[in-house]
Chains A and B, each alone.
Chain A
Amino acid sequence: MDELTPLPSAPATAGLTTDSFDEQRQAELRAAAEALRAQVEIYSSGMNVALNRFPKLRTVEVPVGVPEVPLVKWRPTWPRVKTVTLTFPAGFDFLPPPPPPKKEESGAAAELIPVKPPAAPAPVDGTAPPKKATRIKPPADAISIEDRLFYLLQPPLESWLKGQELIMPFEPFPYQYEGIAWLFSQKAALLADEMGLGKTMQTITAIRLLLRAGQARRILLVCPKPLIPNWQREFKTWAEEIPVVTIEGDGARRQMLWTMPGVTVLLANYELLVRDMEAFGEQAPQFDLAILDEAQRIKNRDSRTASTARAIPRKRTWALTGTPIENRPEELASLYEFMEVIPPHASPDVRQLSQLAKTFILRRTKDLVMKDMPPRLDRDEFLDLSPAQRLAYDAAEKEGVVQLNELGESISIQHVFELVLRLKQIANFDPLTGESSKLERVEADMEEIAECGGKAILFSQWTGTIDWLQEKLARFSPLVYHGKIPTPKREPILKKFKEDPKASLLMMSYATGAVGLNLQFAGYVFLYDRWWNPAIEDQAINRAHRIGQKSKVIVTKFISKDTIEEKINRVLDEKRRLFAAVLGEGEETNVSLSMNASEIFGLFDLKARNGKGTKSIKPQAPAA
C-alpha cells in the first residue's frame, strides 16, 4: 500500500500543538484508507492479486456550459435639435438724440406733461406697482409666422419710447400708446380719433417706430395746404431727428424734391399731389407708407384727388380723420378703397362697412379716453334781433318766400339756399344800420374775457362778417385768420395769438380754421353763426378743446330767435344725435349729416321738388 502523502499542516488551534494535530490527522486518514480497501476473496486462478492494488484516480475536465448573459448597451445620444430663426431688419440710423426742447420753443405742446427722468431702481421685492405695458399685437391680416413674431417680439411701447433710442419730449397718454401700437402694426389703417386727441402725435411716433424697426424708409404725408406748417411744427416737436421735406416751389423743383434720394418724410398738400402725380404718370415715386391727413378729402371716390391718392405706389396706407363720415356712411367705402381693403368700385353694405371697421378703424372719443380733461360747456344763446335787424329780416323773409312761391315748379335748392344765406347774414348784422344783437353780446363777453387775460376764438361762415367784426371789435385787437390771408402770414398770426397777452380774440372762418390747428390755450369759443354740419362745428370747437387744455372750454352758439337760425339749430341737434348713433353703437344706416335738400326746403315749409340728394355744403377750399 502506498504511503499517504502527509497533508499540509493545519494552523494551530487552541489546546493542540502542531505535532499532536498532525498525528491525529494521519491516523484519521489511515483509517479512511483502510475503509477504501476492496474486500475480495482470493480465487484459485490467482487473478485476484490486482484487486488488492490501490485504485488509480484520474480527473477529467468536463465543460460546465455557462449560458451567455445578454448585455444591453445605452448611450445618451440625442437627435440634433432643429431650430427656427427670425432675424429682424436693421433699423433706420437716427441722428444723435437732440437736446430736450427749451420751454419757449416747445410750441403748443408745451402744455403737455413732460416725461420724468429715469426713475431710481425699483425695489426688487415685488412691492413696486406694476406699470402698464402696451404691447404691439400682430395685425389680423398677418398670416406668416415671421410677420406675427415680428410684432409679438417688439418691446412694450412704454419702454421702447423711454429708451435711449427714442426720446419722447412729452409722456403720451395710455390711449395714445394704444393708438401708436395699433398704427405700427397695421398695413391699412384709418385712425379716426375725435378731434383733439392727438392723431398727429400718434402718427409721428408710429412713423418713428417704423423707421427705427426698419419697416419704412420713405414716407409720404399728404394734408390740406393750411396744415403743412402744423405738421412741420409737430414733426419738429415730436421727432426732430426725422428729416422732413415739404413739396413746394415750381414744377422743376417739385420734381426734384419728389425723387430726391435720402428723403425720409415728404410732406405734400392735396393740390400738388394731384398735379405732380399726374405729371409723373407711370413713373410715380414709390413709398413705404402713404398717409392722408384729413382723409375725408377723398370721400368722393370718383374725384381726381381720390383716384390720384389710390394710385400712389405704396406698401402701407394710413388715413387720418376725425370725421370719417361727414355725410353718409358710404363715404367710408372711398376710404376703404384707398386703403385697399375692398376691391375697386366695391359697394359694401352697412354691415360690411361695420365689420371692416373693427379691423381697420380705430376711433376713440374724448368722453371715453379723456375723463380727466376739462369739460366743454356748450351754451346756446338765443338772442332777439335788434329792431333794425328784425325789420330787415322780416322784409327779406317775406319777399324771399313770395319769390320762391312764384317760381313754382322751377324752384331749385339753389334758390332756397340763397334765401337762407341772405337771412343768416341779416341775423349776423343789419347791413344798412350795422346793428347786431350778436355783436353786442360778443362785446360784453369779450370785455370780461380780455379783462381776466383769457383768449377766445370766434368762428363765422363768412369772411365778410369777420372783416366787419374786426372793425367793430378793434379795441380787443382781434386777429383774423381766413382764406384771404396769404399762407405765409397765417403762422405768425397764430403765434401772436398764443404769445401776445393783448391778443385776446382770434376770428376764423370755418373753412380755414376748423381743422388741424392747436389752440388749446383759448378757453372760449364763439360760433357767431352756425355751420350746416355738426361735425364741422365740432372740428372748429376742438381747436380749443383738445389735449393740453387746462381749463374748461365755454362754447357759445349764437342763435337769433324767431329766425332761420332757430330752425337750423333744431336740425343740427338732430343731426348730432344721429352722428353719435352711426359711429357709436347705433344702427342708423342712411344718415346724412349735412342738411339735405328736403331739410333746406323744409326750413320754409316748402316741399323739395328733387329732394333725394344731399346738398354739398362744406367749407370751401381755402384761398391759396
Chain B
Amino acid sequence: MTANVKQEPLRLGFLTAIEIPEKGFVGGLLVTNHNGRPLEFQCTVPIKPNPTQEILYGPTLSPFILGELIGTTLVERAGVKPQLILTDQAQILELRNHIDRPVALVEAGAQENASSTPGARKAIRLGRQVIQFHPAHDTDSATVTRDSQQVPVDADLQEPFERVREALQETMKSGALR
C-alpha cells in the first residue's frame, strides 16, 4: 500500500505594472492560492527613468524596468513565494532571466503549441487561458504542467490582473506610495 504523497498547494503570482503619467511605472505582485484567493500583495513605489536612462536604454528600457527592476524586487521580497509567476505584459517575461522560477505570459488569443521552433514561446493551457513561457527556458512548461492540475479548468487567469491594477490605482490614490 502506497502512502499518498501530499502535493504542495500551488501558489500563483500575478505580476503586472501600470504607468502613471508624470510618476512612472508602478508594479504589483498578487500571490494567490490555486483558486485565486489572495495570500499576499506587494507593490512598488513609482519608478521614473530620467532622460539619460531613456536614451541610453532605448528599447530595452521597458523590459529592464518592468522585468528586472520591478519584477525581481517584488519576487525577491515576497514573503509568500509563488511557484509560478504569471504576467500579462510581454516585457515582464524578461524577469525569467533573473529568477529561478517559471514566468509565463497570459495572453488573450494565444494558441497552445508543443512545437520547439527556436525562438518561439512554448505555450500550454492553464485554466481558461493559454500561457506562454520564455523561449530561453524550455523546461518551464514541463515544470508547470506537473502542478497545473490544481488550477480549476474554468479559472480565469486574466481576472487577477484587474485586481492588481485596481489595487495599484487605489494605492496611488491613497498616497501610500509617495
Contact = CB atoms under 8 A, between A and B. Distances in A.
Is B truly associated with A?
yes
Interface of A: 74, 76, 78, 81-88, 91, 118-122, 124-126, 133, 138, 145, 148-149, 152-156, 159-160, 162-165, 212-213
Interface string B127-145: 1111000000000000000
Given A86-B41, A149-B167, A155-B163, A81 B36 contact: no
Interface in B37-92: 37-45, 47, 52-53, 56-57, 69-70, 73-74, 77, 79-80
B53 A76 contact: yes
B163 A153 contact: yes
Contacts of B129: 124
Contacts of B74: 83
A480 to B, nearest CB: 48
Contacts of A156: 159
Q: Is the interface of A mostly helix, strand, loop or mixed?
A: loop
A159 B176 contact: no
Contact of B128 (A85, A122, A160, A164): A122
A399 B163 CA distance: 74
Interface centre among A125, A149, A164 (most CB of B within 10 A): A149
B170 A152 contact: yes
Given A85-B40, A124-B108, A153 B167 contact: yes
B113 interface: no
**Which of B41, B108, B127, B170 counts the most chain A CB atoms within 10 A?**
B41
A78 B24 CA distance: 14
A160 B37 contact: yes
29 contacts: A81-B45, A81-B69, A81-B70, A83-B43, A84-B42, A84-B171, A85-B79, A87-B39, A87-B79, A91-B37, A118-B154, A119-B154, A122-B128, A124-B110, A124-B128, A125-B109, A126-B108, A145-B174, A149-B167, A152-B166, A153-B30, A153-B167, A155-B38, A155-B160, A159-B35, A160-B36, A163-B35, A163-B36, A163-B152
Interface in B151-176: 152-156, 159-160, 163-164, 166-167, 170-171, 174, 176
A143 to B, nearest CB: 9
Contact of B37 (A87, A118, A122, A165): A165
A74 B52 contact: yes
A84 B152 contact: no
A76 B64 CA distance: 11
Q: Ordered nearest first, which 8 A-B pairs have the shortest CB separation?
A: A163-B35, A155-B36, A81-B73, A82-B45, A145-B174, A86-B41, A153-B38, A145-B176
A84 B176 contact: yes
B57 to A, nearest CB: 8
A531 to B, nearest CB: 47
A85 B77 CA distance: 9
Nearest to A79: B47
Contact of A86 (B42, B127, B174): B42
A149 B108 contact: no
B73 A83 contact: yes
Given A74-B56, A126-B108, A155-B37, A162 B30 contact: no
A82 B52 contact: no
Given A74-B52, A133-B159, A88 B42 contact: no
A317 to B, nearest CB: 25
A149 B171 contact: yes
Nearest to B36: A155
Nearest to A91: B37
B125 interface: yes
Nearest to B155: A159
A75 to B, nearest CB: 11
Given A163-B35, A163-B36, A82 B109 contact: no
A83 B42 contact: yes
Contacts of B73: 81, 83
Contacts of A78: 47, 69
A153 B41 contact: yes
B170 A149 contact: yes
B76 to A, nearest CB: 10
Contacts of A138: 170
B109 A126 contact: yes
B160 to A, nearest CB: 7
Given A153-B38, A164-B152, A159 B170 contact: no
Interface string B12-46: 00000000000000000010100111111111110
A125 B32 CA distance: 26
A148 B153 contact: no
A82 B171 CA distance: 14
Given A84-B176, A155-B159, A155-B163, A121 B125 contact: yes
Contacts of A152: 163, 166-167, 170
B177 interface: yes
